[in-house]
Structure 1
Amino acid sequence: MTDIIQLLPDHVANQIAAGEVVQRPASVVKELMENAIDANATSIKLIIKDAGKTLIQVIDDGKGMSATDARLSFERHATSKIRSAEDLFDLHTKGFRGEALASIAAIAHVELKTKRDNDELGTQITLEGSEVITQDIVVTPKGTSIAVKHLFFNIPARRNFLKSNNVELRHIIDEFHRVALAHPDIAFAMYHNGSETFNLPNSNYRQRVVNIFGGKTNEKLVPVEEETEILKISGFVGKPEFAKRTKTEQFFFVNNRFIKSPYLNHAINSAFEGLVKEGSHPSYFLNLTVDPKSIDINIHPTKTEIKFDDEHTLYAILRSSVKHSLGQFNIAPVLDFEHDKNLDTPYNYKDKSQASAPIVEVDRLFNPFTEEKSSKGFSSVSYKKEPAQSWEGLYVGLESKGTKTEHDFSALEFESEEQTASLFKDDKHVEDTHSTYQFQNKYIVSTIKSGMLMIDQHRAHQRVLYEGLLKNMTLKETISQQLLFPLKLQFSSNEMPIISQLKEDLEHTGFVFSGFNDETLEITGVPVNVQESEVSIILEQLISDVQQEVPDSNFSATDLLAKSMAKSLAIKTGQSLTRLEQEHLVNSLFACKEPSISPTNRATFITMSVDDIDKQFM
């Protein structure tokens, strides 16, 4: 028999490696920006076209490469970061596996321009699918410029798996935020389709957070500082009242590298226990500095998950540090029974001299029971007792009036509803029989001919609202109620594009917008069945659902909007309903096109026949 095992060609091996490194345009952005940081760049520009499908270009002013290094950088496992296996456990740089540029070049058209500071001329290399097309000497500024064009041009199947431009752009912005937050000392700029999206000057960490997430973020931040032999923590957590329904403002950086750690995230949630509402997530921007030898970064292809030597100790230190900061800045309630607020010195009195004793003057000749003038000119008030006749006259004639009133009450006649004859003989029995009953403030029990019906009130109301909202958005028929005062809401720069994308659909549900800019939203009208206090909850829930489900078409966006609003507005489990409300909900549910399932495809009711109930007693 002939041998069947053979070595793969280089271009096939590179495409397989690219499947690990490059999942979408955001993966390319991450790798190229990390390479620019490792080149000691002080300014990095990111240029995007068509959400990265047409062009991804990263320009830096780093140290650049020689002609030989520029050519070798596109070979597999070629890197300047490590020399031996031991170096993997003492990493101080970003990219170290040497697969990024080789993988990117295997699935795209790449153009590299680079020049070192001491060189007069630079190098330009053009590649298509791992194949070097040209290598020339060019005039170029110091640093490196890499342009990645036509991503997945030779793998159409992979290109078809990419989402819409809005979704892919959102992933690119997420990666841009992660890199920019980890390095506030580097200036970053991002351009999409020729327009400037971000322009972040080099600054301190607090200013970098504010520049990315908006000016209103500054008042939401609580500093966290702690340094031990094992771990150094610096950064900020958000105040509990500003907790969001999404996890978009949760960032862990270990040695200036963004990571995802559910275990450490649990430590933060534990520190905020009892301070945030259920379903809300606190914001945090925390930098953790540990010994590089105590972590293993090379356990995940994207290097976003790392392994710690002693996770339990880190958990305890992180949880305690956050709780200490919340208490130190009076964010968390403190039980101190001996503290007297009256003894606190006001802040504006801290620089004043010692307080002088007050001077008290007493008029010793003052007599409150006389009307004479005192020696110092004070007039006294008389409190002489008046004769009894003066006040007893107030009650004269009340006895006769009371008697008259008694007779008037007895003569009162009350209006009663007109009694009409009943069509049914056993009318009393019909009045005493209730068609619905609420069980545990969660289910509505109703009788049917074949047995019993049990309805989940929350899911049933979701179905009713969902079909109504979907009809309004489809037919564009809605009624709005105007607000007495405009409602202004603040959102971050990456949340506003989502609302802007769904603005037209929101208007079809009844929202009226009067102001719309990068960070502020002004609303003057809301749907009829929406309270003003619920508007922010609805929009936050909508943003959360859009970020999790990332719809790709207008129909999906409309459908998702209806689902999200129905989930926010539906009556909750535990809410007591009157008999009339129960019957109205039951009737509305069975008037729907799909009464048996909720918008999330879960059962709204179950039925139990008389036979099923009889079997329980056998």
Structure 2
Amino acid sequence: MPDIIQLLPDNLANQIAAGEVIQRPASAVKELLENAVDAGATEIKLLVNDAGKALLQVIDNGKGMSETDARMSFERHATSKISNIEDLFKIRTMGFRGEALASIAAVSQVELKTRKADVEIGTCIEVENSVVKRQEPCATPVGTNICMKNLFFNVPARRNFLKSNAAEMRHIVDEFIRVAMAFPNIFFSLTSNGQQVFHLEAGSLKQRIIQVLGTSYSTKLVHVSEETDYMNITGFVGKPETTKKTRGDQYFFVNNRFIKSAYLNHAVMSAYDEMIAKDSFPMYVLFIDLDPSVVDINVHPTKQEIKFEDEKIVYAFVQAAVKHALAQFSIAPSLDFTLNADIQQLDAVSKPTSGDAMDAITSSNLFKTFTQKNQAHKIEGSNKSELSHWKDFYEPATQPLPTDLHTTSQQPASEGLDYSGYSLLKPEPKFKLLPDVVLSQLHNTYIVTPTAVGFLLVHQQQAHERVLYEKYSQAVHGKQMPTQQSLFPSTIQLGAGDTELMHELLPDLKVLGYAIEPFGNNTFVVQGTPADILDGNEKMAIELLLEQYKHFSSDVKFSRRERLVRCIARQQAIKTGRSLSQREMLTLVEELFACNTPNITPGGNPTYMEFKQDYLERMFGK
């Protein structure tokens, strides 16, 4: 048998290796920006066309390269930063393995222009499919100018796996922000298709955070700074009111390198314990500085996952530093024994108490509990006569409703509960409202709905979410939602990442009743919204919609429209804690019974629980 094992050609081996490093245009952005930082640049410009598929260009004013170094930079594992194994554990630069340019040149057409300060003529090199096509002297400023054109032109199968331009641009913005945030002392700019997206002047870390994440953080940042012999931590965390439903504004840097670490994120979350809701995420930008010898950054091709020699020490230090910062700025919970001056102005304090009122107060059980001996744990016996007619609560009401409380699904509901304007072909509903029924609301969360054989306990928020989901599902499958034009259009300014997401969602939002138009850099004009959004809440509704869309589980492979419909239904559903009128409750329950799948939300949570009369009687031993 002939031998069958052979060495791969260099260009094919480079293409295979490039798959580990260059997965999409954003991967190349990260590598090229980090190379510019390593070159000592004080100004770095990123230019993008067609979301990086047509062009990625990075221009820096760093130290540049000689003619020989420029040629060697495209060889695999050619690096100036490692000469022996010990150097691998002293790395403080961003790039060091010599894979970036070789991988980029294997899957694109690259043009490199570079010049050192001590020479008058620079070098121009063109590389395509790992082959040098041209190398010649050229006139160019000091620094490096590298263009990557037609990504994956020679691997069409991988190019087909790239997402839409808006999606790829969001990934580019994410990588750009991570590098720009790590080096606030460097000027960065990002231009996409001729339009400037970022212009970040060099400054302090706080200035960079506000430039990137928005001016809303300008007064809501808490400074973190702790130093020990083992490690230092600096940066900023957001006050509890800045929490969001997504992790978007969370940045960890170890020796100025962005990392992802669920372990350290848990340390920060535990520092916020009892200050924020369980499903909320605080903002933080934290820099950990420690000896490179106790960190292994070479465990992942993108170098975003690292290993610590002693994770427990780092965890405890991060948690303590954040806790200390929050406590130092009086953010942490504490007992406040000072009397609010406004209390003195209340009628109950400022006006004298009448004799009758004083008698009523002193005779109350609460007053006796605090003033009489041996009363602290006393439980008053209940008046059992009050429970003698409990079954009447579950019987159909014999009293007719007031005229203004009769309603049908065609009648308009009160503010925020508009279900009109749609009809679906549905099977016969399992439940029907009893004639002249009176509904009751429990804890401003549940609607007690009598039936012929018992009662239903309807969760108002989850029931409304199901109703809205079916309403919007019909809209995206044919019948466009009506738009309520705003008398005074409002403008909304978004961060760069949310701007790209908004551009991606605009066509689908139009189908769902939103009239939104781009208006300059990172700004949109809201001309109209679906009819059920309260006037004046357009901005908040759209911001919340974007947050929930990003928060939507990426593990579940729904289409973009399906995710959007689910997010809008969840966002616009009436919330628990809101008191509903009789008309609102009747409309909501009737519309729920008319749904195709009335018993669960789109996410699988129950919308109601059924309690049958025989079950209730068994509970009471009947």
TM above 0.5, yes or no, is: yes
Counterpart amino acid of residue 64 in structure 2: G
Q: Do residues 542 (structure 1) and 536 (structure 2) align?
A: no
Which residue is equivalent to 2:159?
Answer: 159
Change (3 A) 1:457 1:335: closer
Q: Tell me by how many angstroms 1:604 deviates.
A: 6.1
Which residue is equivalent to 1:396?
Answer: none
Q: Distance in 2 between matches of 1:3 and 1:607?
A: 73
Which residue is equivalent to 2:465?
Answer: 462
The TM-score, its normalising length taken from structure 2, stands at: 0.74
Q: Tell me by how many angstroms 1:569 deviates.
A: 2.2
Q: Tell me by how many angstroms 1:249 deviates.
A: 1.1
Q: Distance in 2 between matches of 1:490 and 1:331?
A: 28
Q: Distance in 1 between matches of 2:151 and 2:141?
A: 26
Superposed CA offset, 1:310-361 (max 9, x none): 2222222222222222222222333365x7999xxxxxxxxxxxxxxxxxxx
Counterpart amino acid of residue 109 in structure 1: Q
Q: Tell me by how many angstroms 1:62 deviates.
A: 1.2
Superposed CA offset, 1:390-439 (max 9, x none): xxxxxxxxxxxxxxxxxxxxxxxxx9999xxxxxxxxxxx8899999989
Q: Distance in 2 between matches of 1:263 and 1:14?
A: 34
Q: Is the 8 A contact 1:437 1:445 kept in 2?
A: no
Which residue is equivalent to 1:221?
Answer: 221
Change (3 A) 1:77 1:576: same
Q: Do residues 495 (structure 1) and 492 (structure 2) align?
A: no
Q: Tell me by how many angstroms 1:95 deviates.
A: 0.8
Q: Is the 8 A contact 1:515 1:523 kept in 2?
A: no
Which residue is equivalent to 1:237?
Answer: 237
Q: Tell me by how many angstroms 1:460 deviates.
A: 3.9
Q: Tell me by how many angstroms 1:466 deviates.
A: 2.0
Q: Distance in 2 between matches of 1:448 and 1:308?
A: 64
Which residue is equivalent to 1:101?
Answer: 101
Aligned-partner SS, 1:8: coil
Aligned runs of 1:366-445 on 2, under 5 Å?
none
Q: Tell me by how many angstroms 1:446 deviates.
A: 7.8
Change (3 A) 1:523 1:45: closer
Aligned runs of 1:173-188 on 2, under 5 Å?
173-188=173-188
Q: Distance in 1 between matches of 2:291 and 2:339?
A: 45
Q: Distance in 1 between matches of 2:483 and 2:162?
A: 38
Which residue is equivalent to 1:119?
Answer: 119
Counterpart amino acid of residue 134 in structure 2: T
Change (3 A) 1:446 1:294: farther
Q: Distance in 1 between matches of 2:95 and 2:401?
A: 86
Which residue is equivalent to 1:330?
Answer: 330
Superposed CA offset, 1:121-141 (max 9, x none): 221111111111111121222
The TM-score, its normalising length taken from structure 1, stands at: 0.74
Which residue is equivalent to 2:92?
Answer: 92
Superposed CA offset, 1:137-190 (max 9, x none): 212221111111000011111001101111111110111100011111111111
Gaps of 5+ in 2: 342-399, 404-433, 617-622
Which residue is equivalent to 1:320?
Answer: 320
Counterpart amino acid of residue 478 in structure 1: P
Q: Do residues 170 (structure 1) and 174 (structure 2) align?
A: no
Q: Distance in 2 between matches of 1:54 and 1:322?
A: 43
Aligned-partner SS, 1:286: strand
Aligned-partner SS, 1:330: coil
Aligned length: 526
Counterpart amino acid of residue 293 in structure 2: K
Q: Do residues 565 (structure 1) and 577 (structure 2) align?
A: no
Q: Do residues 128 (structure 1) and 133 (structure 2) align?
A: no
Superposed CA offset, 1:32-82 (max 9, x none): 111111111111111110000000011111111122111111111111111
Larger of the two Rg values belongs to structure:
1
Q: Tell me by how many angstroms 1:210 deviates.
A: 1.7
Q: Tell me by how many angstroms 1:99 deviates.
A: 1.1
Which residue is equivalent to 1:70?
Answer: 70
Percent identity reads 48
Q: Is the 8 A contact 2:48 2:55 kept in 1?
A: yes
Superposed CA offset, 1:471-528 (max 9, x none): 5575445364968x98776643432443455457656656677996656777687655
Q: Is the 8 A contact 2:447 2:585 kept in 1?
A: no
Q: Is the 8 A contact 1:460 1:585 kept in 2?
A: yes
Q: Is the 8 A contact 2:480 2:513 kept in 1?
A: no
Change (3 A) 1:512 1:99: closer
Aligned-partner SS, 1:114: strand
Q: Tell me by how many angstroms 1:572 deviates.
A: 5.1
CA RMSD of aligned residues (A): 4.1
